[in-house]
Amino acid sequence: MQNTVAILERPGKMVIKDAEVPIPKSNEVLIKVGYVGICGSDVHGFQYGPYIPPKDPNQTIGLGHEIAGIVEAVGDKVTKFKVGDRVCIEPGIPCYKCEFCLEGHYNVCPDVDFMATQPNYKGALTNYLAHPEDMTFALPDSMSLIEGALVEPAAVGVHAAEMAGELLGKKVVILGSGCIGLMTVQAAKLMGAAEIVVIDVLENRLQMSEKLGATAIFDGREPSVIESTKAIVGEYGADVVFETAGAIATAKMALQLVKRRGKILIVGTIPGETPVDFLKINREVTIQTVFRYANDYPKTISMISKGVFDVENIADRYFEYENTQEAFEFSVNNKQELIKGVIRVSKDMN
């Protein structure tokens, strides 16, 4: 076996270098990587460097955390997997000791080792990687490896919808119809939302959101977008507003669209400070941030495998591993043509 790894040499420049094949620890599986999804955080890292810069300026930076592949070897204490199994992974390794882990909220563990970020900045763009058995999940025969790689962003949407609470019969607005927005559309639909209004500025993404369950779509640049949305969700606004674009402008828009005693879910990663006019929302509005997912992979895998949650059609552009630089350049420069990019690391996997 030969291994390579794609690393961020500097902002805007990915290089592929030779690397040692990892030796799995007793509780780990060695995975031959098949597909890796390109997340918005990866694109940001490619352009500007990681959201949280490493303390050591010489730290090697990897990108990618949405992954599926095939088990190549197992540690001597692994019992759930065997060589040849098709799997996906949760890319965060929590400490299992802090109060958050012990309460089941391991997604907010302060010492989590999450791929492509602190503390190790190890990315998924590599031929082989080792990962703990308990954060590795088997893929049903009915799921493709591409679908397996997209379980991770789908779990974000599922977790966001669950954080909103009861959605049956509720009127929902989703701001942003990128990958996470589209996952949230489907999760809200499956939870019984009566109206799902999606607002974005890219036509291809709006059309996809309608295909996946949005009941109305609007261009966020239209001067009357607030009035048009309220004509559907009601004059007081929506029961729940999901901000998935990760932008200050959409966070501000959420304040205009939520009804009294409604909820705003901040799913996107918003840089900088967002001014909040609390006078406009001091009618018992809840603002809830959402961070990754916890205990959501099994149900997400089940929904995808049963065909009620579509992830594969969201992936509309594929790149070969040797063209990783091109993949990120395209993701930066062609947002109007792209919903979700996926990098094929191994050409012999389906």
User: What is the DSSP pairing of strand 113-114 with strand 195-200?
Assistant: unpaired
Q: What is the pLDDT of residue 203?
A: 96
For 123-168, write each residue's pLDDT tens digit: 999 999 999 999 999 999 999 999 999 999 999 999 999 999 999 9
Distances (CA, A) of 159 to 122, 249, 266, 289, 291: 24, 23, 12, 11, 8
Q: What is the pLDDT of residue 165?
A: 97
In this prediction, residues 61-77 reach a mean pLDDT of: 98
| 3-state secondary structure labels for all residues of 117-130 | CCCCCCCCCECEEE
Q: Is the pLDDT of residue 272 over 90?
A: no
Q: Is the pLDDT of residue 350 over 80?
A: no
Q: What is the pLDDT of residue 183?
A: 98
Q: How far apart are CA 106 and CA 108, in angstroms?
A: 5
pLDDT tier at 335 (50, 70, 90 boundaries)? confident
Contact criterion met (CB below 8 Å) for 283 and 216: no
- The 3-state DSSP class for residue 28 equals strand
What's the DSSP call for residue 284? T
Residue positions counted in the chain:
350
Q: Is the pLDDT of residue 224 over 90?
A: yes
User: What is the DSSP pairing of strand 28-37 with strand 128-132?
Assistant: antiparallel
Contact criterion met (CB below 8 Å) for 258 and 172: no
Two tokens at 93? 């390794």
Strand spans (E) along the chain: 3-10, 13-19, 28-37, 66-74, 86-89, 92-93, 113-114, 128-132, 136-138, 171-175, 195-200, 216-219, 238-243, 258-266, 286-289, 317-320, 341-344
Domains in the chain, start-ordered, CATH in brackets?
3-150+315-344 (3.90.180.10), 157-289 (3.40.50.720)
Contact criterion met (CB below 8 Å) for 304 and 154: yes
Q: Which residues are bridge partners to 15 per DSSP?
A: 7
Contact criterion met (CB below 8 Å) for 341 and 40: no
- The 3-state DSSP class for residue 50 equals coil
Burial 71-89 (b: 16+ CB within 10 A, else e): bbbbbeebeebeeebbbbb
Task: Transcribe 98-153 into DSSP letters.
Answer: SHHHHTT-GGG-TT-EETTSTTT---S-BSEEEEEGGGEEEPPTTS-HHHHHTHHH
Measured between its terminal Cα atoms, the distance across the chain in Å is: 20
Contact criterion met (CB below 8 Å) for 208 and 231: no
pTM above 0.75, yes or no: yes
Q: What is the pLDDT of residue 96?
A: 96
Lowest mean pLDDT: which of 79-93, 189-203, 262-276? 262-276
Q: Is the dihedral of CA 345, 24, 95, 81 positive or negative?
A: positive
For 91-121, write each residue's pLDDT tens digit: 999 999 999 999 999 999 999 999 999 899 9
Q: Is the pLDDT of residue 57 over 90?
A: no
Q: What is the pLDDT of residue 114?
A: 97
Q: What is the pLDDT of residue 279?
A: 87
Q: What is the mean pLDDT of the chain?
A: 96
